[in-house]
Amino acid sequence: MKLQEKVVVITGGGNGMGRELVLQALKRGARVAALDIRQESLDEVASIANAGDRLSTHLANIAERDRVAELPDEVIAHHGAVDCIINNAGIIQPFVDVSEVGFDIVDRVINVNLHGTINMTKTFLPHLLKRPEGHVLNVSSMGGFIPFPGQSIYGAAKAGVKLLTEGLYAELLETNVGVSIAMPGAIGTDIVKNSGAGDISADADGGGHKTLAPADAAKIMLDGIERNRFYIYVGSDAKFMSFLRRIAPQWAVRFIQKQMKNIAR
Ligand SMILES: NC(=O)c1ccc[n+]([C@@H]2O[C@H](COP(=O)([O-])OP(=O)(O)OC[C@H]3O[C@@H](n4cnc5c(N)ncnc54)[C@H](O)[C@@H]3O)[C@@H](O)[C@H]2O)c1
C-alpha cells in the first residue's frame, strides 16, 4: 500500500523506531495518528515533525481495551478515515529466567506486547476493511522466532504476535487489507530503559552487538508496507538468525545462549 495521502496509526510513536516511523511516514505524504503511553514523548515528536494537522497525537495504553476502543472515533474525527495500523509499541522484560520472573512482569509483558496488539488489531480492523485499501503491520522480533535466555516471556509474547499476524495474513488474503510482520534484530533504541528492564549495557535483542539505527529500521518497515511484503526482516542479524534457525535449529539456540551469557542475570 502506498502511504501517500493514507491515514496511518502508529503505536509507540513517541520514541525509538515508532518515532522514526511517524517522521518518515509524514515525509512519505501520509497523515499520521501517533499513539503512546508517554505524553512528553508525543509532544516531542509533534514538535520535531512540525506537521500541522497531518499529525495527531493520542495518549493511550494499548493494554487498556476500553481506551483502545475510543481510538478509531478520535482518529477518524481528526483525519477522516484510517487506512493502516502499525502495531509497534512494546516492552521487554528484565533479564530474568522463567524460574525467577515474577507474575507481575509476566502479566505486564504479555498484556502490552500480545494483548495490546490484539486490542489494536481487533478494534481497527473493521475500519480498515471498509477502505479501498488497508494494511496492518505488526512488529514482532527476532526474539519471536529464536529464544533469548532471560527474555523468554517477551519471546513468547512476540512469537504470539508472529502467529497472530500469520493467521491474519491468511484470513485477509482475499480482502483489501494487506498484512506484514516485522522482525527486527538489535536496534539502537532506549527500549531497556523505557521498559523499566533494569540497568544493563547490552541491548535487548542482540546481546550487545552492533545495532541498526532506528531510522534505518523504520525505512525498512515502511518500504515493506509499500511493497506489501509478508515478512520484513529488519537488520542483517535478524536475516542471518532466520536462516541459521532453519538449517541448524539446535546450533542456533546454543549460539544465542552463548551470546546472552554476557548479560548479567
Ligand atoms: N530495540 C530492539 O532491539 C528491538 C528488537 C526487536 C523488536 N523490537 C520491538 O520494536 C518495537 C519498538 O521498540 P523500540 O526499540 O523502538 O522501543 P522504545 O522503547 O524506543 O519505543 C517504544 C515506545 O512504545 C511506547 N509504549 C510502551 N508501552 C506502551 C503501551 N502500553 N501503550 C502505548 N505505548 C507504549 C513507549 O512509551 C515508547 O515510546 C517494540 O515492539 C519492540 O519490542 C525492538
Distance separating alpha carbons of residues 198 and 182, to the nearest angstrom: 25
The pLDDT score that the predictor gives to residue 58 is: 98
pLDDT digits (tens, 9 = 90+) for 214-232: 999 999 999 999 999 999 9
| pLDDT exceeds 90 at position 206 | no
Which residues partner with 8 through β-bridges? 32, 84
Helix orientation angle between 16-27 and 214-226, rounded to the nearest 10 degrees: 50
Q: What is the CATH number of the domain that holds 158?
A: 3.40.50.720
Strands (E), the chain: 7-11, 31-36, 55-59, 84-87, 134-139, 177-184, 231-234
pLDDT digits (tens, 9 = 90+) for 239-263: 999 999 999 999 999 999 999 987 7
| pLDDT exceeds 90 at position 208 | no
Contact between 184 and 139 (Cβ < 8 Å): yes
The pLDDT score that the predictor gives to residue 262 is: 75
Nine cell digits for residue 31: 497523515
Q: Residue 2: inside a domain, yes or no?
A: no
Q: Residue 226: inside a domain, yes or no?
A: yes
pLDDT digits (tens, 9 = 90+) for 57-91: 999 999 999 999 999 999 999 999 999 999 999 99
| pLDDT exceeds 60 at position 204 | no
Look at ligand 1, atom 36, and give the residue with the nearest C-alpha. Answer: 12
Q: Residue 56: inside a domain, yes or no?
A: yes
Q: How far is the CA of 16 from the centre of ligand 1 (A)?
A: 7
Q: Residue 37: inside a domain, yes or no?
A: yes
173 class by beta-carbon count within 10 Å (0-12 exposed, 13-18 middle, 19+ buried): exposed
Mean of per-residue pLDDT scores for the chain:
95
8 class by beta-carbon count within 10 Å (0-12 exposed, 13-18 middle, 19+ buried): buried
Q: Residue 1: inside a domain, yes or no?
A: no
Which string of b and e fits 209-219 if b means at least 16 CB within 10 Å?
eebbebebbbb
Among candidate residues 26, 25, 23, 59, the one with its CA nearest the CA of residue 41: 59
Residue 15, domain extent: 7-260
The pLDDT score that the predictor gives to residue 263 is: 73
For 20-35, what is the mean pLDDT? Answer: 98
Q: Residue 244: inside a domain, yes or no?
A: yes
Per the structure, the count of domains in the chain is: 1
- In the structure, which protein residues have their CB atom closer than 6 angstroms to any atom of ligand 1? 11-12, 14-18, 36-38, 41, 60-63, 88-91, 112, 116, 139, 141-142, 184, 186-187, 189-191, 194, 203-205
Q: Residue 59: inside a domain, yes or no?
A: yes
Q: Residue 208: inside a domain, yes or no?
A: yes
For 37-46, what is the mean pLDDT? Answer: 98
